[in-house]
Structure 1
Amino acid sequence: MTANEDQEMELEALRSIYEGDECFKEISLVSFQFRIGDLDDTKAFMLDITWPETYPETAPQMSLDAFFNNRFSAETKQLILTKLEEQVEANLGTAMMYTLFEWAKENQEALMENHKPVATAVTSGSDGITSSIAKKKEKKEQLTKSQKRRIINRTDHKGELPRGWNWVDVIKLSKTGGKDDDLA
């Protein structure tokens, strides 16, 4: 069989095996993405695989450059690729995509044993570590133009409110009456 015939057969097998599986995505006829682990798992990773023209006689091109993998260090990515390349060498000359995907799923814990998440939302400040949540609290409230005009109209030329602006109008209170007036 020629390489193209092998690729067509493997592609058909992959489509039937992973039909409806959200972990498998066919980018093109020779390019695929496999997600190893659940979306909410901190140790989940996305593996991009592309077949060269002579696949399966030559090794597929593997990459962990997807945005999904930004939380991993370069050392962790290199370890995963090295282990997967060992599996590729062992299966060279045969259809190996299913084997690679299943091997990665079974060995996810071993591949990620030295993984320490790369902190992207945490920045270092002068007083220690400041999270992005603290930055959100510092954000000032935005006023509309009409709200700003009302504030300016209530203040004098110095930016201060006039004396007695929050006083209660005593005359209006006496006209409305109180509880004592109703009893008499």
Structure 2
Amino acid sequence: MTAKEEQEMELEALRSIYEGDECFKEISPVSFQFRIGDLEDSKAFILDVSWPDTYPETAPQMSLDAFFNNKISPETKQYILSKLEEQVEANLGTAMMYTLFEWAKENQESLMENHKPIVQAVTLISSNEATVTTPAKKKEKKEQLTKAQKRRMVNRTDNKGELPRGWNWVDVIKHVSIKFTSLLLF
């Protein structure tokens, strides 16, 4: 049996097992997310798994980069991934997604035992005010427009920066006249 056929069979099995399960999400036929734990649980995490072309003969790619996991420390993430990779090595060559997901659910407590949630620091300025200090954020880049794009945008708008009413409407008279002349020609 080829790797593609094995993947199709495992995908069909996963769909039937996890149908209606809110913890399982199929991103694509070769990429999945599985939430370990309840949404409210501080020790819950989402595991991203994707299959390479030669899966199950080669290991699936796993990550914990989902936004849901932003409160988990990098050390804990590395620990979870290393334990999951041990399970992958033990099951290499066979369909293993169900086994991995269920193993992670059963061992959630031991995987997250050293978990210390990353929290935001709150600094008290005065008796009524507080500011929240977050870890360093990346600056958002503004979209850069070329001069030609800016010129076209200005030409399309009125002096208030708004598009004129009907700017994307079809010129009905022109449309009707073309239809009318084409009918006269035939």
Specify the code of the residue in structure 1 equivalent to 2:114. Answer: N
Corresponding position of 1:24: 24
Are 2:120 and 1:117 equivalent residues in the alignment? no
Q: What do the CA deviations read for 1:39-94 (whole angstroms, capped 9, x no partner)?
A: 00000000000000000000000000000000011000000000000000000000
- Displacement of 1:125 after TM fit? 6.0
SS of residue in 1 equivalent to 2:28? coil
Partner Cα separation in structure 1 for residue 12 and residue 64 of structure 2: 25
Corresponding position of 2:42: 42
- Displacement of 1:126 after TM fit? 8.0
Q: For structure 1, list consecutive stretches of 5 or more residues without a partner in the other structure.
A: 137-184
Specify the code of the residue in structure 2 equivalent to 1:118. Answer: I
Partner Cα separation in structure 2 for residue 105 and residue 88 of structure 1: 15
Partner Cα separation in structure 2 for residue 23 and residue 11 of structure 1: 16
Partner Cα separation in structure 2 for residue 32 and residue 114 of structure 1: 26
Partner Cα separation in structure 1 for residue 71 and residue 112 of structure 2: 12
* Gap change, CA 1:32 and 1:64, over 3 Å in 2: same
| TM-score, length-scaled by structure 1 | 0.68
- Displacement of 1:103 after TM fit? 0.1
Q: How does 1:74-85 map to 2 (within 5 A)?
A: 74-85=74-85
Partner Cα separation in structure 1 for residue 2 and residue 60 of structure 2: 16
Corresponding position of 1:134: 130
| TM-score, length-scaled by structure 2 | 0.67
Aligned length: 131
Specify the code of the residue in structure 2 equivalent to 1:42. Answer: S
Partner Cα separation in structure 1 for residue 123 and residue 93 of structure 2: 50
Q: How does 1:1-184 map to 2 (within 5 A)?
A: 1-120=1-120, 122-124=121-123, 134-135=130-131
In percent, how many aligned pairs have the same letter?
79
SS of residue in 2 equivalent to 1:65? coil
Specify the code of the residue in structure 2 equivalent to 1:84. Answer: L
Partner Cα separation in structure 2 for residue 23 and residue 68 of structure 1: 13
Partner Cα separation in structure 2 for residue 124 and residue 62 of structure 1: 37
Partner Cα separation in structure 2 for residue 113 and residue 29 of structure 1: 33
- Displacement of 1:135 after TM fit? 3.7
Corresponding position of 2:165: none
Q: Which runs of 4+ in 1 moved over 6 A?
A: none
Partner Cα separation in structure 1 for residue 91 and residue 20 of structure 2: 26
Q: For structure 2, list consecutive stretches of 5 or more residues without a partner in the other structure.
A: 133-186
Name the larger-Rg structure.
1
